[in-house]
Amino acid sequence: MQPTTGPTTRVFRYGIEHECALLHTDGSFADYTDTAFDELQVVIDALPEDPDDYPDLRIGDQGIKRKRWYVEGYERFDTDGRLVRCDPKGIEIRTRIHDSVDGAVDAITADVATLDGALAASQLRSTVIGFNPLRSEYVIEPPLNEWERRHRLDSPEERTAHLHMSTYGPDLNLSCADLDPAAVVDIGRKLTHYSPWLVPLSFSSPFRDGAPWGGLSARTAIRTGLRPAVLVFLGEDDEQVEADPSLTQVARIPAEVGRIEFKAFDACPDPGLYGELLSLLTGLVLDETLPGRRTTPDAAMHQHVAVAGLGDDEVHAGTGALLDAAGAALTGRAGDLARLERLRERWARRESPATAMLARYEAGEPVAGVRRRAPHPA
C-alpha cells in the first residue's frame, strides 16, 4: 500500500542525545583518570526524574539510565556478570521524542541548563568538545575477564565500545511512520554514503594529547569506519543487515522501531546547530535524487575530511550539493528551510565549531582545559 502523503508532507519525529564533557572548577579537563563515577552520580541524583519520559527512553540493564541525564562511561563486570564499576567519561542528556525539530532543540537546551544548575553545587562544570583533548586512548585495565569477553565481543559495537571513552558527540534521531523497513534501511545507507560531506559542519575536536593535532575532528579521524555513521533500528521480525560496523540493530524498546540515528557528528556547543543539522537530515531523507549508497562508512574519506574540513574545495562543494538537494526536498517546510539557510551561511563561511576553538586557543584562552603554552624567552 502506498503512503497517502507526499514526501514534503510526511510527518517526522525527533530526538537528540548529547554528550557533555566536564571540567574541574580550576578549568582542567575531568575524565575517568581523576573523576569517580560516584562523584557524577551525586549530580544525577539531584536532578528530577519524570515518569513521562518513558516509554520514549530506554533505562538499560544496569538501571543507570533512569533519567534524561545519566553518567556515560565504560562498565566493568565480574566473572558472574555483576557490575563492579563504571569508568566515567561525562554526562549524557537525552530528550524524549518530539513532534518538531524546535521541540527537541528547546528540550536539550533546557536540560543542559538544568544540568549546569546541578553542577554548580559540585566541583565540576560542563563543556562541549568532540574528543578528549588530553588522552587519545582509553586503556581497558585490567583486561576483560571471560564473562566480559563473551559479552563485549559479540557485536561490532561492543568490540569497539572502548573507543567512545575518548569521543563526545550527539545521536541525532528522526523517524517517519510513512517509511517501511526497506525504505529506512535505504536511507541509512544513503546517509552513511554522504556522511563525509555532512560531518565537517559539526567539527569540534581540534585537540589531541594537550595541543592542536593539525586537523579539525580527532573524533572523526579515530572512530568513523570502526564505529557506524548511522544506525537504523528495526523490529525484531525485520530483516537485519550484516555489516561491520553495524548499519541496523534490533530496537530495544518499541519507541525505537523505525528510528534513523545519525551518529557521526561531533558534539556541538550551540544546540541550534543540532536543529539545523536535523533539518538537513530531514531534507536528505525526503530527497529522491541523490544516488550514493554505502553499508559501512568510508573510513579513508572520513579521515581526509577530519583534517581538511570545509577548507578543502571539493569537500566544500560536496557539502554544498547536499544542502541544495535538501533545500529542494524541503519545499513548503518553512521552519526547516529557515534552519537550512542558517546552516548554509555557516557553510559559506567554511565554519565549524573547531575553527572558533582554535582561534580562542591562539588568542591564549583556555579551551576545554587546553591552553596554549607561552613561548620560552629567547
* Model confidence pLDDT, tens digit, residues 263-310: 999 999 999 999 999 999 999 999 999 999 999 999 999 999 999 999
Could you give phi then psi for residue 305, rounded to 5 degrees?
-70, -25
Tell me if 348 sits within 8 A of 291, measured CB to CB: no
Q: Is the omega angle on the peptide bond into residue 88 within 30 degrees of 0, that is, cis? A: no
Long-range contacts: 251-255, Cβ < 8 Å, 24+? 252/58, 253/55, 253/58, 254/55, 255/55, 255/56, 255/57, 255/97
d(Cα 221, Cα 304) in Å, to the nearest integer?
Answer: 8
Q: Name, in order, each residue with C-beta under 8 angstroms of 193's C-beta and a sequence gap of 6 or more.
A: 292, 293, 294, 298
d(Cα 96, Cα 113) in Å, to the nearest integer?
Answer: 16
Res. 154 pLDDT band, cuts 50 70 90: confident
Mapping DSSP onto H, E and C, the string for 200-250 reads HHHCCECEECCEECCCCEHHHHHHECCECCEEEEECCCCCCCCCCCCCEEE
Q: Could you tell me the three cell numbers for 73?
A: 562511561
Tell me if 102 sits within 8 A of 139, measured CB to CB: no
Short-list 229, 202, 217, 196, CA closest to 131: 217
Residues β-bridged to residue 93: 18, 69
Per-residue pLDDT at 6: 64
Q: Could you tell me the three cell numbers for 239?
A: 530483516
Residues β-bridged to residue 370: 367
- Beta-strand relationship, 124-127 and 83-94: unpaired
Q: Which residue shows C-alpha cell 565554519?
A: 351
Question: pTM for the complete prediction?
Answer: 0.95
Short-list 24, 69, 61, CA closest to 45: 69
Distances (CA, A) of 116 to 20, 25, 93, 306: 10, 12, 12, 30
Per-residue pLDDT at 4: 41
d(Cα 328, Cα 337) in Å, to the nearest integer?
Answer: 9
Identify the DSSP state of 239: P
Q: Could you tell me the three cell numbers for 318?
A: 560536496
Tell me if 347 sits within 8 A of 323, measured CB to CB: yes
Could you give phi then psi for residue 355, rounded to 5 degrees?
-65, -40
Q: Could you tell me the three cell numbers for 193?
A: 554514503
210-224 residue pLDDT tens: 999 999 999 999 999
Q: Name, in order, each residue with C-beta under 8 angstroms of 66's C-beta and a sequence gap of 6 or more.
A: 49, 59
Mean pLDDT of 173-192: 97
Q: Name, in order, each residue with C-beta under 8 angstroms of 322's C-beta and a sequence gap of 6 or more.
A: 194, 197, 198, 280, 284, 290
Identity at 106, one-letter amino acid code: D
Identity at 29, one-letter amino acid code: F
Identity at 367, one-letter amino acid code: V
CA atoms within 13 A on the CB side of 310: 25
Per-residue pLDDT at 274: 98
Task: Give the SS3 label for residue 247.
Answer: coil
Q: Could you tell me the three cell numbers for 125?
A: 562544570
318-336 residue pLDDT tens: 999 999 999 999 999 999 9
Could you give phi then psi for residue 284, rounded to 5 degrees?
-70, -30
Lowest mean pLDDT among 57-71, 152-166, 194-208, 341-355: 57-71
Could you give phi then psi for residue 239, rounded to 5 degrees?
-75, 125
55-114 residue pLDDT tens: 888 877 666 788 999 999 999 999 999 999 999 999 999 999 999 999 999 999 999 999
Q: Residue 41, Cα to own-chain centre: how many angstroms?
A: 22
Element (H, E) at 134: none
What percentage of the chain carries pLDDT values higher than 90? 88
Task: Give the SS3 label for residue 302.
Answer: helix
Residues β-bridged to residue 230: 262
Structural domains of the chain ordered from first start = 11-362 (3.30.590.20)
Mean pLDDT of 169-178: 97
